[in-house]
């Protein structure tokens, strides 16, 4: 579990840094990527609520960038991870 906490710390640092770099843009793909990665770490840690929230934020950003109804690999990835989290939460 120690490695996961280290991964969490690094992913949180990355998100903070990317938000600072892109502070003038609420919807930047690098921020969405960091949120998606953070969600994956939370999922591995078993913190499903935080994982779901991170994936939801990532999806919203990707949709704001690329459009709600337009096919895009980043949206597909975010949708996939968001869906997996919902499935895991339902299994409880």
**Domains of the chain: which residue ranges?**
2-91
pLDDT-derived band at 66 (thresholds 50, 70, 90) equals: very high
Q: So what's the pLDDT on residue 92?
A: 67
Q: Are 45 and 57 in contact (CB under 8 A)?
A: no
Q: Locate the DSSP E strands across 1-92.
A: none
Considering only CA atoms, which of 85, 90, 32, 23 is closest in space to residue 62?
32
* CATH superfamily, with its number, for domain 2-91: Tetratricopeptide repeat domain (1.25.40.10)
Q: Are 72 and 80 in contact (CB under 8 A)?
A: no
- Which element (helix H / strand E) includes 70? none
Q: So what's the pLDDT on residue 78?
A: 92
The widest CA-to-CA distance across the chain, in whole angstroms, is 40
What percentage of residues in the chain have a pLDDT greater than 90? 86
Q: Are 38 and 72 in contact (CB under 8 A)?
A: no
pTM, whole model, 2 decimals?
A: 0.91
Residue 24 confidence (pLDDT) above 80: yes
How do residues 27-57 score in pLDDT, each as one tens digit?
Answer: 999 999 999 999 999 999 999 999 999 999 9
């Amino acid at each position: 579990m120690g490695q996961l906490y280290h991964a969490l710390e690094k992913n949180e640092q990355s998100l903070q840094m990317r938000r600072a770099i892109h502070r003038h843009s609420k919807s930047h793909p690098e921020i969405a990527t960091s949120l998606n990665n953070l969600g994956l770490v939370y999922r591995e840690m078993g913190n499903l609520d935080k994982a779901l929230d991170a994936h939801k934020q990532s999806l919203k950003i990707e949709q704001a960038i690329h459009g709600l109804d337009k096919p895009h690999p980043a949206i597909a990835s975010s949708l996939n991870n968001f869906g997996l989290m919902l499935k895991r939460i339902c299994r409880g």
